[in-house]
């Protein structure tokens, strides 16, 4: 994938989603069931953040898009 293609993907999702996305939004981006995203999260495939006053997990949108395109190493593989 060229840098221009990656920039196009990132710009497309930046116009539709905030910088920190919920796991539900990640499921929409990935076009996968929400349960799959929870499984990937539980397996440590990507870094996540929890809101200070809540339990909802958030992901960095651009890193998640890169992960879906196979361009971002998973957190689990870095160990």
Tell me how far apart the alpha carbons of residues 30 and 78 are, in angstroms, rounded to a whole number: 22
Instruction: Give me the DSSP letters along 22-78.
Output: EHHHHHHHHTS-HHHHHHHHHTT-S--EE-TTS--EEEEHHHHHHHHTT-S--TGGG
Model confidence at 65: pLDDT above 60: yes
Q: What is the pLDDT of residues 11-59, one digit of tens each?
A: 988 999 999 999 999 999 999 999 999 999 888 888 777 666 667 888 9
Instruction: Decide which of 47 and 60 is more confident.
Output: 60
pLDDT bucket at 75, cuts 50 / 70 / 90: low
Instruction: Decide which of 29 and 70 is more confident.
Output: 29
Which pLDDT value is given to residue 79?
47
């Amino acid at each position: 994938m060229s840098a221009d293609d990656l920039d196009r993907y990132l710009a497309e999702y930046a116009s539709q989603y905030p910088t920190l996305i919920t796991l539900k939004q990640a499921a929409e981006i990935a076009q996968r069931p929400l349960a799959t995203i929870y499984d990937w999260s539980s397996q440590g495939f990507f870094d996540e953040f929890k809101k200070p006053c809540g339990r909802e997990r958030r992901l960095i949108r651009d890193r998640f898009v890169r992960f879906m395109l196979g361009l971002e190493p998973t957190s689990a593989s870095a160990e």
